[in-house]
Structure formats: structure tokens, C-alpha cells
Amino acid sequence: MQLYKCIRGVIQLYINVVPMFHGHSIQTLPFIAALHHNNCMYMAHKLMSFQIKTRNILRQPVDYVEELQRLAVDHFLSLLQQQKANILQNLKSDFGFDGMSEHYETTLKSWRKVSLELQHLQIAWNGVLPPSLLHKSIGSLFNTSLEEVVNGITKLEDISEFDAQKLTDLTSVIEKDGIDLISSIGLPSNDSLPIQFLEVKLQQHIEFWIKLKELKFVLNARLMEIRDRWAAGKGPLADAFTKEEMDSLIRALFQNTEMRSAVLAVINRKTDY
């Protein structure tokens, strides 16, 4: 019973004191936030193991497992939300997709700033967070930036041939950065994830990954290629984009011709499954 009281007192002290004295560091420093998450989860795991081993001796469980888990998750999620807000702020401050012929370098610089921050987070968390959580966290942050980029491009009303090429260049840079981020998570230096598993990881942890790749295709494709890849609403493009999004992209990319009208008719045709 004395051991029970001692353990309970130490855990209670940790829960009450650590967030008070280290709250600012936990909320603002990614490495400290990850370390705090691990500490809480480790203690929760040890408490559960202790309860299993002593269940025939102690009738009263050490009732802080769920609170430690909640503390770990809440603080780390709070940091992730802050990082997402920073990403969106960096993208929105300079990120203009209209008139890429004039603003490409500025746009690329904004993206590089976001990409560099994600690399710093990956380095800070690598070896601290479990690989599964690291994949999920970096993937979620990268997806936030990807969603902002993809949605920004699909909402453009007019995309010239030159702008389309510059946007293709930009999506290529973003695609490479995503591959570099995810491929090295949880692996020793200079190692990378085998190619056969990489695409699975990218699609699993980055919701907009397929949409980015299909957008890159559309930006560099001819009308007939887009029609064929739409495949009457059953192709890869239809999996990535809605009819409304494809209609908008085609109108932005191509001049009003009979061929464009025909392809739009195919895109907007009601599909029977």
C-alpha cells in the first residue's frame, strides 16, 4: 500500500507541476512537446503494467493512466495546430498563384520556407516520437500545406500556357519535398524507405497526395488526355477531383472551343453505376 501511495503521489505531482512550469516550452518548442508526449505515454504504459502485476495485491488501481494519455495527446495536438497555423500564415502571406509568370520566384520562396520548417520538425522529432506517430504528424502538417496549394490552384479562373508550366514546376518541387520528408522517417541517416512502400505511405498519411499528382497531370495535359483519364467518371482524375473542380480547371486552362465543350460535356455527364 505504501508503494501505491508513493507512485500515485509522484504521478499526481508530475501532472500538476510539469504543465505549470514547462507549459510555454511544451506549447512552443517541438522537441520539448514531443519529449513531454513520450514521457506521459511512457508513464501511462508503466502504470498499466504495474496494475497488471499487482492486481492480486492492490485492489485499488492507480487511476492516472487516462489522464496521462490525455495530457500527452492534448498538448501535442495543440502544438500541431499551432504549426498548421504557421504554415497557413506563411503560405497566405505571399502565396499568389495568379500570374505565375511574374510571381513564381516569390511563390517558390514561400513554399521553401514551409518546406524548411517541416524538415526542421522532422529532424527534431525523429528518434523521439514513434515512427507511426511521426509519419502521421509530418503527413498531417504536409497535407495542410498541400491542401492550401491545390485548392488555390484549382480556384484560378484563368491559367495561361506559361503559367501552367510554372505551376507544373511548382508541383514538381512540392512532390519531391513530400517524398524526401516521408521516405526518411524513422530510418538511419542516408537511408530511405523502399520504393515499393513509399507511395503507400504517402497516400496513407497525406490525404491530398493523389490530388497533387493528378493536378500536375492536368496542368501539362491535352484535352483528350484529360478526357481519357477521367474515364467517364471512373478514372484516376475522377477519384481525385469532383466534376465541379475539373470543370473549373478545364475552363481556366483551355480556350472556349468545340473540343473543350465536348470534353466538359463528358465531365459533367451524369454517371450511372
Q: What is the mean pLDDT of residues 68-90?
A: 94
The per-residue pLDDT for range 7-65, each reduced to its tens digit, is 778 888 889 899 888 888 998 999 999 999 999 999 998 888 877 676 655 555 557 88
What residues are paired with 126 via a beta bridge? 129
pLDDT at res. 25: 92
State the DSSP code for 157.
S
Mean pLDDT over 125-132 rounds to: 91
Give the residue from 246, 179, 256 showing the smallest Cα distance to 217. 246
Selected residue with higher pLDDT from 10 and 4: 10
pLDDT at 84: 95
Tally of helices (H runs) and strands (E runs) in the chain:
12, 0
The predicted structure's pLDDT at residue 58: 55
Single-letter residue type at 130 = P
pLDDT of residue 60: 56
List, for residues 80-105, the tens digit of each pLDDT value.
999 999 999 988 855 568 878 788 89
Contact 177, 115 (CB under 8 A): yes
Backbone angles phi, psi at 149, to 5 degrees: -70, -50
Distances in Å between the Cα of 247 and the Cα atoms of 226, 228, 233, 243, 244 are 11, 15, 13, 6, 5
Residue 273 pLDDT: 45
- Letter for the amino acid at 268? N
Nearest to 214 by CA among 198, 231, 194: 231
Rounded to an integer, the average pLDDT of 198-221 is 94
Judged by average pLDDT, the poorest of 64-68, 71-75, 83-87 is 64-68
> Which pLDDT tens digit goes with each residue over 136-193?
999 999 999 999 999 999 999 999 999 999 999 999 999 999 999 988 776 555 555 6
Residue, of 194 and 82, whose pLDDT is higher: 82
- Give pLDDT, residue 62: 59
Q: Determine how many CB atoms are found less than 10 A away from the CB of residue 206.
A: 25
The three three-digit cell numbers of residue 76, written as one number: 501535442
Residue 191 is predicted with a pLDDT of: 58
Comparing CA positions, the residue from 180, 255, 244, 176 lying closest to residue 212 is 176
Q: 208, 150 in Cβ contact below 8 A?
A: yes
